[in-house]
C-alpha cells in the first residue's frame, strides 16, 4: 500500500514540476561609447541610445523543466550612428547572466547641407590620393533639395567630395581635402561659390 | 548532454521493467487490448516557448505478452500559449506515433510502464514576431518520445492512469523541438 502512495506521489510531483516549469531569461546591456546618438533595433525592438548612454533589456529565453530546456539564445542588434556605420551583430544571451555590448566609433561624418537654390542629384567621394571618384552615395532618383542635408560617413583620412547639381544645366563642384577624424561630425553648408578651409 | 542523461534514465527504467516484470492479475495482460483516452498539460521546452496548455491523447495497444504492449497513439498538444491583446500565440503539435510499452505489475490493481514511441509530428504554429523553437511554419517531421506511467485498475478492466512523456523532433532549422506532457488517462481493456 505504501508503494501505491509513493507512485501516486511521484506522479503528482511530476505534474507539479511541469506546471511550475521555469522561465529562463537574461539581460543584455548595450552601451553607446560612440560620440553620436545610436538608433537601431535590438531583438525586434526599436532603440535609441544617446552618446555615452546605455540601455538594459531583459531577454526572454524560454521554458525549461528540471535539467531540460534552453538556457541560452541569440539576439540580434542592428543600427547605426553618425559616426558608426550600419552594422548587424548577434549576441549570445545566457540564462541568469548579463551580456554587454559596446558601440564604438568606426568613422567620421560630414553633414552636407544644400545651401544652393537648386538640387543636388549626385554625391561622390574619393580618397585624396585617388584619381577617380566612386559611385554616387545617393539612392536612385534621390535628390537633396535646398536646405536639406545628407549624411556622409567617411573613414578616417583625407577625402575629396564631388557634388553634381542643376543650375539650368548640369554642373559639378568639388570639395577638396576634407579631413575625416574618427568620431567627429562636421556640418558643411554647401554652395557652389563657397570655398572651404579645414 | 542533458538530453542524453534523460534518455539514459528512461532506458534504465525500461531495462528494470523488462527484468522484473511479473504476471498481471486482472489488469492488462497477454492478448488484451488496452485503450487510453486522456488529457493533460503539455509544456514546450524550447526558445521562446511560453506557458504550456492543454493536450489530448488517444492510445490503442495490443498486449503481446503479459508485459509487452504495442500500439498507436494520436495526440493534440498545445504546448505553448499566451494571450497577446485580443489575439493569442500558440504552438500546437499533433504526434502520430507507433508505441511500445513495457508493463510492470506493482500490485493487484496497479501497473506501471515505460514507453517509447516513434512516428511523425505535425507542428502547427500560430506565432507573433518570434518563432517558437525555430518553427515559423507548419511542418511535419519524424520524431520520437519516451515516458513512463502508472495505471490504477480500480474496476479491474477499467481504471485511471497518470503518464509523463518527453517528445522531441527536429525542426527545419536543424534544432530540436522538445516538450513534456503530463496526462491523466481513462483506461480500459477489451478481451
Is the separation of the CB atoms in A111 and A186 below 8 Å? yes
Radius of gyration of chain A (CA): 27
Same domain, A158 and A93: no
Do the domain assignments include residue B59? yes
Do the domain assignments include residue B113? no
User: Dihedral sign, CA of A111, A116, A121, A123?
Assistant: negative
Do the domain assignments include residue B110? no
Same domain, A136 and A80: no
Q: Which of A3, A9, A11 to mutate to test binding with chain B, by most B CBs within 10 Å of its CB?
A: A11
What interface predicted TM-score (ipTM) does this complex get?
0.74
Is the separation of the CB atoms in A27 and A57 below 8 Å? yes
Residue with cell 502547427: B124
User: What span, in angstroms and rounded, lies between the C-alpha atoms of B185 and B39?
Assistant: 7
Domain boundary residue among A83, A103, A123? Answer: A103
Domain boundary residue among A81, A103, A125? Answer: A103
Q: Which of A63, A71, A72 to mutate to test binding with chain B, by most B CBs within 10 Å of its CB?
A: A63
Same domain, A98 and A153: no
Do the domain assignments include residue A18? no
Same domain, A32 and A94: yes
Do the domain assignments include residue B34? yes
pLDDT at B16: 47
pLDDT at B153: 87
**What's the farthest any 2 CA atoms get from each other in chain B?**
55
**Contacts of residue A19 in chain B, CB cutoff 8 Å?**
41
Please give the tally of structural domains in chain A: 2
Same domain, A131 and A144: yes
Q: Is B100 an interface residue toward A (CB < 8 Å)?
A: no
**Contacts of residue A73 in chain B, CB cutoff 8 Å?**
47-48
Do the domain assignments include residue A3? no
Q: Is A16 an interface residue toward B (CB < 8 Å)?
A: no
Same domain, A66 and A90: yes
Domain boundary residue among A48, A69, A103? Answer: A103
Same domain, A98 and A127: no
Burial A141-169 (b: 16+ CB within 10 A, else e): eebbeeeebbebbbeeeebbbbbebeeee
Pick the closest to residue A88 from A96, A97, A79 (CA basis).
A79
What CATH number corresponds to the domain at position A93? 2.60.40
Nearest to A21 among B2, B43, B178 (CB): B43
**Contacts of residue B3 in chain A, CB cutoff 8 Å?**
68
Edge-to-edge strands, sheet with A54-64: A54-64, A22-32, A98-103
Q: How distant is the Cα of A128 from the closest Cα of chain B, in angstroms?
A: 46
pLDDT at B107: 79
Residues 6+ apart with CB under 8 A from A140: none
Q: Is A8 an interface residue toward B (CB < 8 Å)?
A: yes
What's the average pLDDT block by block, 10 residues per block, for chain B (191 residues)?
54 48 58 91 94 94 92 96 91 97 87 95 92 93 95 87 95 93 91 78
Minimum CA–CA partner of A60 in chain B:
B48
List chain A residues with pLDDT less than 70: 1-21
Nearest to B106 among A7, A19, A68 (CB): A7
Nearest to B178 among A3, A21, A68 (CB): A68
pLDDT at A137: 96
Burial B132-160 (b: 16+ CB within 10 A, else e): bbbbeeebeeebbbbbbbbbbbeeeeebb
Q: What is the DSSP letter of A3?
A: H
Q: E strand or H helix at B56, and its extent? A: strand B53-63
Do the domain assignments include residue A171? yes
Q: Is A14 an interface residue toward B (CB < 8 Å)?
A: yes
Residues 6+ apart with CB under 8 A from A2: none
Do the domain assignments include residue B80? yes
Do the domain assignments include residue B6? no
Name the residue range of residue B132's domain. Answer: 29-100+118-190
Do the domain assignments include residue B16? no
Do the domain assignments include residue A4? no
Do the domain assignments include residue B180? yes
pLDDT at B10: 53
Pick the closest to residue A9 from B72, B150, B165, B170 (CA basis).
B150
Q: Which three cell numbers stand for residue B173?
A: 532549422
Do the domain assignments include residue A90? yes
CB contact under 8 A, A21 and B52: yes
CB contact under 8 A, B46 and A14: no
pLDDT at B127: 86
CB contact under 8 A, B47 and A62: yes
Name the residue range of residue A92's domain. Answer: 23-103
Q: Which three cell numbers stand for residue A172?
A: 559639378
Do the domain assignments include residue A122? yes
Please give the tally of structural domains in chain B: 1
CB contact under 8 A, A18 and B112: no
What CATH number corresponds to the domain at position B81? 2.40.160.20
pLDDT at A20: 57
Strands (E), A70-168: 72-81, 84-94, 98-103, 108-114, 120-127, 149-154, 157-167
Interface of B with A in 10-49 (CB under 8 A): 40-41, 43-49
Interface of B with A in 134-153 (CB under 8 A): 150
Do the domain assignments include residue A99? yes
Q: Which residues pair with A40 in a beta bridge?
A: A47, A79
pLDDT at A166: 84
Same domain, A75 and A128: no
Do the domain assignments include residue A16? no
CB contact under 8 A, B112 and A7: yes
Amino acid at each position: 500500500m505504501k508503494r501505491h502512495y509513493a507512485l501516486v506521489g511521484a506522479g503528482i510531483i511530476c505534474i507539479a514540476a511541469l506546471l511550475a516549469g521555469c522561465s529562463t531569461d537574461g539581460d543584455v546591456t548595450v552601451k553607446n561609447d560612440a560620440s553620436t546618438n545610436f538608433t537601431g533595433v535590438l531583438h525586434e525592438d526599436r532603440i535609441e541610445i544617446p552618446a555615452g548612454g546605455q540601455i538594459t533589456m531583459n531577454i526572454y529565453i524560454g521554458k525549461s523543466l528540471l535539467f531540460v530546456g534552453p538556457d541560452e539564445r541569440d539576439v540580434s542588434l542592428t543600427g547605426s550612428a553618425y559616426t558608426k556605420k550600419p552594422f548587424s551583430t548577434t549576441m549570445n544571451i545566457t540564462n541568469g547572466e548579463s551580456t554587454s555590448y559596446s558601440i564604438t566609433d568606426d568613422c567620421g561624418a560630414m553633414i552636407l547641407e544644400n545651401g544652393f537654390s537648386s538640387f543636388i542629384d549626385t554625391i561622390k567621394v574619393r580618397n585624396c590620393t585617388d584619381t577617380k571618384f566612386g559611385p554616387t552615395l545617393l539612392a536612385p532618383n534621390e535628390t537633396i533639395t535646398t536646405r536639406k542635408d545628407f549624411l556622409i560617413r567617411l573613414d578616417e583620412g583625407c577625402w575629396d567630395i564631388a557634388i553634381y547639381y542643376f543650375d539650368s544645366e548640369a554642373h559639378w563642384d568639388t570639395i577638396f581635402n576634407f579631413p575625416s577624424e574618427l568620431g567627429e561630425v562636421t556640418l558643411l553648408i554647401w554652395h557652389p561659390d563657397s570655398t572651404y578651409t579645414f | 548532454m542533458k538530453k542524453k542523461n534523460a534518455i539514459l534514465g528512461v532506458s534504465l527504467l525500461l531495462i528494470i521493467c523488462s527484468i522484473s516484470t511479473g504476471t498481471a492479475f486482472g489488469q492488462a495482460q497477454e492478448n488484451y487490448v488496452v485503450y487510453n483516452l486522456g488529457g493533460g498539460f503539455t509544456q514546450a521546452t524550447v526558445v521562446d516557448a511560453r506557458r504550456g496548455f492543454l493536450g489530448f491523447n488517444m492510445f490503442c495497444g495490443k498486449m503481446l505478452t503479459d508485459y509487452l504492449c504495442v500500439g498507436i497513439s494520436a495526440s493534440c498538444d498545445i504546448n505553448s500559449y499566451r494571450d497577446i491583446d485580443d489575439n493569442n500565440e500558440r504552438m500546437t503539435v499533433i504526434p502520430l506515433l507507433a508505441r511500445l510499452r513495457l508493463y510492470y505489475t506493482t500490485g493487484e490493481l496497479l501497473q506501471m510502464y515505460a514507453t517509447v514511441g516513434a512516428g511523425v509530428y505535425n507542428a502547427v504554429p500560430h506565432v507573433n514576431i518570434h518563432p517558437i523553437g525555430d518553427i515559423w511554419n507548419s511542418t511535419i517531421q519524424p520524431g520520437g518520445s519516451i515516458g513512463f506511467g502508472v495505471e490504477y485498475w480500480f474496476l479491474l478492466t477499467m481504471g485511471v492512469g497518470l503518464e509523463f512523456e518527453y517528445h522531441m523532433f527536429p525542426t527545419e532549422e536543424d534544432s530540436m523541438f522538445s516538450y513534456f506532457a503530463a496526462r491523466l488517462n481513462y483506461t480500459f481493456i477489451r478481451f
